[in-house]
Amino acid sequence: MDIPIQILVTGLTMGSMYALAAVGLSLIFGTLGMFNMAHGMFMTVGAYVVFSLASSLGLPMIGAVLVAMLTGALVGILTHLLIVRFMLTGTDFTTNVIVATAGLAILMEDVTLKMFGGYPYQQTVGVSGTFRIGGVVVSLQSLVILVVAMVCIGAVAWLLLKTRFGRAIRATAMNRDAARLMGVRTNTVFLQVMALAGALAGVAGLMISTVATLSPQMGGDPLLKAFVICVVAGLGNVWGAGVCAFGLALLEAAIGFYFGVRFGFPAMLILVIAVLIWRPQGLFGKEKVVRL
């Protein structure tokens, strides 16, 4: 009984972090048609800003989450205002923006490295302590991660489904021209989406840093997983991304447990490729998105 519980706990903790990253990534793709290669750096920056504020001022968990959100949102907004905005109407936007955000990623990574060095710092915020489920020791921080992720994703779902603001985002994603005909300022929507996704990424980065360490490259691994999750779900499918994040994290945890942690992700990737050969549009995607 303990093994399934252990896998479940690990899977849910990882799934929470992946979901935070993947939902934002998917939201950006769905609305702007943009694949954000710098999303991993959004996470990293969120974690580092909390780290520096917390080490000098001290921050409670809730404050740390807010700071991470604000930082991520700010980075998202700046990325849009300084780079993406100018490219949106150009030709080959999809590929060009991948190149531009990849460039941004390596630039930001380098800046982080120069500011903080490569030393793997320990995140200063976080709750300590453990509790037991059956024979499995679970850290309180895992629970915090799960709760924070659930609250954030729940809030995003509510925003998207129940508010006028969210309806405008969904409308823009579904049919940009029609949304403009309704009076939606799509440029503002793009900015809001970048802020929202950035905020989620910031939180994801903070959460990851509480269970791992801080390093300029810390965003790379979760970004990779978020990519794969988004592809499996069908690019731009926000709900699918949330579901797949947990599904794939549980799978990764199980494979990691039985075959060694190194193989968790590769096995997941092979599965993903198999899924795509069977359904090229992703598990939840629509046919038209990728064909031709």
Q: Which residues bind other proteins (CB under 8 A)?
A: 29, 35, 83, 86-87, 90-92, 94-100, 102-111, 164, 167-168, 170-171, 174-175, 177-185, 220-221, 224, 227-228, 230-231, 235, 262, 265-266, 269, 272-273, 276-277, 280, 290-292
Task: State in angstroms the smallest separation of the CB of 288 from other proteins.
Answer: 10
Task: State in angstroms the smallest separation of the CB of 36 from other proteins.
Answer: 11
For other proteins, give the closer residue by CB, 57 or 277: 277
Query: Given phi > 0 = left and psi -120 to 50 = alpha, else beta, which region is 275?
Result: alpha
For other proteins, give the closer residue by CB, 62 or 174: 174
For other proteins, give the closer residue by CB, 111 or 133: 111
For other proteins, give the closer residue by CB, 212 or 224: 224
Beta-carbon contacts of residue 246 (< 8 Å; ≥ 6 apart): 11, 12, 15, 16, 18, 19
Task: State in angstroms the smallest separation of the CB of 91 from other proteins.
Answer: 8
Task: State in angstroms the smallest separation of the CB of 54 from other proteins.
Answer: 27
Element containing residue 137 per DSSP (H, E): strand 136-139
Tokens 């604000």 appear where? 70
Task: State in angstroms the smallest separation of the CB of 281 from other proteins.
Answer: 9
For other proteins, give the closer residue by CB, 60 or 280: 280
Tokens 């490295």 appear where? 113
Q: Is the CB of residue 23 less than 8 Å from the CB of residue 30?
A: no
Three-state SS sequence of 240-272:
HHHHHHHHHHHHHHHHHHHHCHHHHHHHHHHHH
